[in-house]
Amino acid sequence: MSDQSFDVIVIGGGPGGYIAAIRAAQLGMTVACVEKRGALGGTCLNVGCIPSKALLHSSHLFEQTKAGLANQGVKVSGVELDLATMLVRKDKVVTDLTKGVEFLFKKHKITWLKGAGRLAGNGKVEVKSDGKNDTYTAKNIIIATGSESTPLPGIAIDEQKIVTSTGALALPKVPGHLVVIGAGFIGLEMGSVWRRLGAKVTVIEFLDRILPTMDGEVGREMQKILTKQGLAFRLGTKVTGAKASANGVELTVEPAKGGAAEKLSADVVLVSVGRLPNTEGLGAKEAGIKLDNRGRIEVDGSFRTSVPGIYAIGDVIAGPMLAHKAMDEGEIVAEIIAGQSGHMNYDTVPGIVYTHPEAASVGKTEEELKAAGVNYRAGKFPMSVNSRSRCTGDLEGFVKILADAKTDRVLGVHIIGAQAGTMIAELVLAMEFGASAEDVARTCHGHPTESEAVKEAALAVAGRTLHL
């Protein structure tokens, strides 16, 4: 038993939790963070954003070196894949970053309580590890327990042949045929990695479009681009079963709207149909914390749960399940606990798909604006006309800016391009400042850069592009 007490105990050491802990410590509070995984950094650093981006980078280099350099006058031969080294490098990137968070905890005198945390009532948190059970007290508790992969009924995950993204980040050999269930960002990123490394990849999606949360035009264009790269799509298709055997996996699929079932075989199946909030074993319900109908912890605009003194942030509450959203919420909740004010603008949370080209979005989609009856103007500029894209050869994609027809205020931006994830940042800032499309158009953009396509798309809102 322990009777240690803290100003703040954070449960979960992912991007939401570790940032909340650091900010609370910076603001002079005594802080502990409970994390049951062997390393800090949560899903994002250990089995999410970071290892996936490391593999996306390495596999892109492999594909470019094998086939993309010759037309630029760079001749290479004998290019071979050394998957073991690629995976070891990915693991090292992860370890370096998770150790970095551990260093930051030491620097800010944050106590890492190793084990599984459980709410024990009256400001108490029970931490269980290796048969030990310690109880700690806190004036404030922040729940940041994140999320985990959504299972599909009737499909047993073994992380060998039927895998979640965690297994897909560590396949010891390139599968002959990888079937990806779910055409969201995780499915497309992991599908791209293994296709580049030599797998045949089929993506099965229940809906009749890919990237369902993004702008419709982005979804359609990305489907064309990824199909050209070799990904096969089966849209409007439901997977009703998958059985692993010594020879691989046999899947049963049928049209989403009903119809004849069909068998498909694969060497590996990736189930990437979304993520579920993680409240398992937390004692949230027993503590009186209200959950919504999707099992997420309900909070108010200041991240307060229904129990005084207990807050929640990140994937375990509503909103886009993204690391930067969790981190911003972590920073804000610590400031609120310290008596400062803070608020999160969910209209300016960017979403990025790290395929090649990348897709990036912020704000409203055209479909959302139409549904809300908003009168808007769209300005669009193709990357193929951008001079820097001509230099690099990355000609696919466009920048699309949606602005209010009357006020010209930027309401949404949707980009496909090799640098889309970086380019979106200026539009996020523009939207934070309530910029008009004209403000963006009159901003001087370096030449030659892909970002000039942003200026041109902003000019296109007023019907006056300069290079088209």
Pick between residue 167 and residue 342 the one whose CB is nearest to ligand FAD. Answer: 167
Minimum distance from residue 52 beta carbon to ligand FAD (Å): 4
| Minimum CB distance to ligand FAD smaller for 186 or for 410 | 186
- Check 57, 343, 447, 467 and give the catalytic one: 447
Q: Nearer to ligand FAD by C-beta: 12 or 175? A: 12
CA–CA distance, 290 with 293 (Å, rounded to integer) = 10
Q: How far is the CB of 311 from ligand FAD (least distance, A)?
A: 13
For residues 117 and 191, which CB has a smaller minimum distance to ligand FAD in the complex? Answer: 117
Q: What length does the chain have?
A: 468
Least distance in angstroms from the C-beta of 79 to ligand FAD: 27
CB of 421 to ligand FAD, least distance (A): 9
Residue 116 or 199 with smaller CB distance to ligand FAD:
116
Residue 129 vs 252, nearer CB to ligand FAD: 129
CA separation (Å) from 83 to 55, 58, 59, 87? 10, 10, 10, 6
- In the residue annotation, 445 being an active-site residue is answered as no
Binding footprint of ligand FAD on the chain (CB under 6 A): 11-17, 34-37, 42-44, 48-49, 52, 116-117, 144-147, 165, 186, 278, 281-282, 314-315, 321-324, 326, 354
| Tokens 């106590």 belong to residue | 111
| Shortest distance, position 420 Cβ to ligand FAD, whole Å | 13
Q: How far is the CB of 178 from ligand FAD (least distance, A)?
A: 15
Q: What does the H/E/C string look like for 218-249?
A: HHHHHHHHHHHHCCEEECCEEEEEEEEECCEE
Task: Say how far apart CA 310 and CA 302 lie, in whole Å.
Answer: 11
Residues classed as catalytic: 447
